[in-house]
Amino acid sequence: MIIPEQAEISADAEQITISIDRSYSAVPTEDLQIKGEVIDGVAQITLPEFDKTDFFTHVSGYTWGFSSNPDGKKIEYYGGSTYSFAKDTKLYRVLVKYGGGSGTKDDPYLINYFDQLELMGEEKARGYFRQTEDIVFPEWSSHNPIDTVNKLKSDPQAEYFEYDGNGYAIKNIDNPLFGTVSGAVIKNVNIQNSSINTVEFKDYGFIACEVYNYRYETEDGKNYETGETLIQHCTVSHSAIYAEIPKEENATESVQVVTAPVVVPPDLVEYDEDGNIIEKTTSEPVKVVKHGEYAIGAITGLGGQIENCYVTDFGIYASLDDYFLYAGGISGKPANVVNSAVYDFSAQGNIFNAGGIAGSCGGSRMYNPTGKELPDFYGGNIQGCLARNIVLTTEASAGGITGESSTNVENAIISNCYANELDFKTGVYEDEKLIKSGYSGGVCGTDGKENNGHKIMNTVSPSNLKVIGSKKVSEYDDTVRLAPDYAFYQENILTVLNKNTINPDNPKEIYTGNFIFGDSSLFGDDSGSLAFPSEISDLFEKIYKEENSDE
pLDDT digit string, tens, across residues 419-449: 999 999 999 888 888 888 899 999 999 998 8
Q: What is the pLDDT of residues 499-525, one digit of tens each?
A: 999 988 788 889 999 998 877 666 666
The two beta strands, 32-37 and 15-20, are antiparallel
| Nearest-angstrom CA–CA distance, 210 and 302 | 5
The DSSP result for 195-262, as a single string, is EEEE---S-EESSEEEEE-BEEE-TTS-EEE--PPEEES-EEEEEEEEES--HHHHHH------PPPP
In the predicted model, is pLDDT for residue 264 greater than 50?
no
Q: Which domains does the chain have, with CATH numbers?
A: 15-97 (2.60.40), 185-198+225-247+294-547 (no CATH)
Residue 278: the pLDDT is: 57
CA-wise closest residue to 226 among 36, 335, 369: 369
| Nearest-angstrom CA–CA distance, 337 and 381 | 7
As a residue count, the chain comes to 551
Residue 78: the pLDDT is: 94
CA-wise closest residue to 429 among 322, 360, 350: 350
Mean of all residue pLDDT scores within the chain: 87
Q: What pairs with residue 223 in β-bridges?
A: 217
At a CB cut-off of 8 Å and minimum separation 6, what does 266 contact? none
Residue 23: the pLDDT is: 79
Greater model confidence, 167 or 260? 167
DSSP class of residue 478 equals T
Q: CB–CB of 237/311 below 8 Å? A: yes
Grade residue 29 by pLDDT with cuts at 50, 70 and 90: confident
In the predicted model, is pLDDT for residue 248 greater than 80?
no
Q: What is the pLDDT of residues 276-305, one digit of tens each?
A: 555 555 555 556 677 789 999 999 999 999
Q: What is the pLDDT of residues 450-501, one digit of tens each?
A: 999 999 999 999 999 999 999 999 999 999 999 998 888 888 899 999 999 9
DSSP class of residue 350 equals S
| Nearest-angstrom CA–CA distance, 494 and 483 | 13
| Nearest-angstrom CA–CA distance, 312 and 153 | 39
At a CB cut-off of 8 Å and minimum separation 6, what does 12 contact? none
Residue 67: the pLDDT is: 95
Phi-psi domain of 427 (left: phi exceeds 0; alpha: psi -120 through 50; beta: other): left
Calculate the CA 367 to chain-centre distance: 22
Calculate the CA 110 to chain-centre distance: 21
Q: How many CB atoms lie within 10 A of CB 91?
A: 24
* pTM for the whole structure: 0.88
Phi-psi domain of 495 (left: phi exceeds 0; alpha: psi -120 through 50; beta: other): alpha
Q: CB–CB of 85/45 below 8 Å? A: yes
Residue 260: the pLDDT is: 47
Q: What pairs with residue 266 in β-bridges?
A: none
